[in-house]
Chain A
Amino acid sequence: MLPYRLPITRTVTDPDPDGPIRTVLRAAVRVEVLTPSGLPVALDAAAIDTGASYTTMSAVRARARGLAVPAESSRIPLTTAGGRATAVVHDGQLRVRFPQSSDQVYTLYCLFSEAMPPNTPLLLGLNNFIDLFRVTFDGRFAPDAPAGHVTLEPTDASP
């Protein structure tokens, strides 16, 4: 049902036993990506990443799941938390739907990255995600979302 209200996931990690316990917050959503034949592939969990300029998916993972990765490639400078690098990418599209309204298909501009390991979640980046959805982060406590929630509201540019 629209708008989509997604609880923020909170987990803890202990990456360094000599350091503090780290809290990890994630805004993630299950999506179904349609293959060229129309079969849906359920991906759990795509991360809503406002630090990513583009929706980005591992090219290796995309091919492994039968998604259409264009052959044409280019290089793009990527600035990540780990520094600046150049990656080979393929400009393409993802046809995506959400379980909350499975009859509605959204077309997302997507970079399929050869540099992204296959065990990386699909990143829902700004271009063109925020054309289609108004995204609101609200970290306040709610009984059904103790770590807060994200709201996705389709804009008038949504189909």
Chain B
Amino acid sequence: MNHPDTLTPAAPAAEPAFLARARRILGGDVRPDDYLPVTPEVRRRVDLFLEWARARGNGMPLAPGVEARQERVETLSFHHGGENIVYIEDERGIIVLAVGLDRGTDLFREFHGRTPHTLVDAVPFPTA
């Protein structure tokens, strides 16, 4: 996600911090701490799932991709379960660009159709 994105609109004089951050990221300036972190709590939940899955399969090996898929679900749920968010995703992880319906609306209004990235509108499963 380091390619310069000439489609990303230029910033207005003053804009909310979340839009400025989104503009930076969609413009190709992605930093490691932009990604949702896989915390120890997330890891524990993934490990519990894998333990259950392996037991259910009676020792049959799980397919590649199962762990990553569960980690993705648990990461989204842990950080933003039950919230309206807009995110993008690449092979390194998930970057949330807006939290809350109204911010998501502002983000879509500014960038939808003007970036090669897919803006995903989501409400991750709540964890509680």
- In whole Å, how far is B44's beta carbon from the nearest beta carbon of chain A? 11
Residues 111-134 of A contacting B (Cβ, < 8 Å): 118-121
Closest to B54 in A: A146
Binary flags per residue of A37-61, CB closer than 8 Å to B gives 1, else 0: 0010111110000000000000011
- In whole Å, how far is B113's beta carbon from the nearest beta carbon of chain A? 5
Contact residue among B77, B101, B128 (Cβ-Cβ distance under 8 Å from A15)? B128
How many contacts A-B (CB < 8 Å)?
86
Contact residue among B73, B84, B112, B128 (Cβ-Cβ distance under 8 Å from A39)? B112
Q: Is B13 an interface residue (CB 8 A)?
A: no
Asked whether A143 and B63 contact (CB < 8 A) given A61-B101, A64-B104, the answer is yes
Asked whether A45 and B122 contact (CB < 8 A) given A66-B108, A146-B53, A146-B57, the answer is yes
Docked CA distance A14–B122 (Å): 22
Residue contact A65 to B108, C-beta cutoff 8 Å: yes
Contact residue among A9, A64, A145 (Cβ-Cβ distance under 8 Å from B125)? A9
Docked CA distance A145–B53 (Å): 9
Closest to B82 in A: A119
Number of interface residues of B (CB under 8 A): 37
Residue contact A14 to B101, C-beta cutoff 8 Å: no
Number of interface residues of A (CB under 8 A): 32
Q: Is A26 an interface residue (CB 8 A)?
A: yes
- In whole Å, how far is B16's beta carbon from the nearest beta carbon of chain A? 17
Closest to B101 in A: A118
Contact residue among A7, A42, A118, A141 (Cβ-Cβ distance under 8 Å from B120)? A42
Binary flags per residue of B61-92, CB closer than 8 Å to A gives 1, else 0: 11101100100011001000011100000000
Docked CA distance A101–B48 (Å): 33
Closest to B102 in A: A64
Q: Is A74 an interface residue (CB 8 A)?
A: no
Q: Which residues of B contact A (CB under 8 A)?
A: 45, 48-49, 52-53, 56-57, 60-63, 65-66, 69, 73-74, 77, 82-84, 101-102, 104-105, 108, 112-113, 118-123, 125-128
Given A30-B120, A43-B121, 8 other A-B residues pairs in contact with their CB atoms under 8 A: A14-B127, A41-B119, A41-B121, A61-B84, A64-B101, A64-B105, A119-B101, A146-B56
**Could you list some 24 contacts between A and B, CB below 8 A?**
A7-B69, A9-B73, A10-B49, A11-B45, A11-B77, A11-B125, A12-B45, A12-B49, A13-B127, A26-B125, A30-B120, A39-B112, A39-B113, A44-B122, A61-B101, A65-B104, A65-B121, A118-B84, A119-B82, A141-B57, A143-B57, A143-B63, A144-B66, A146-B57
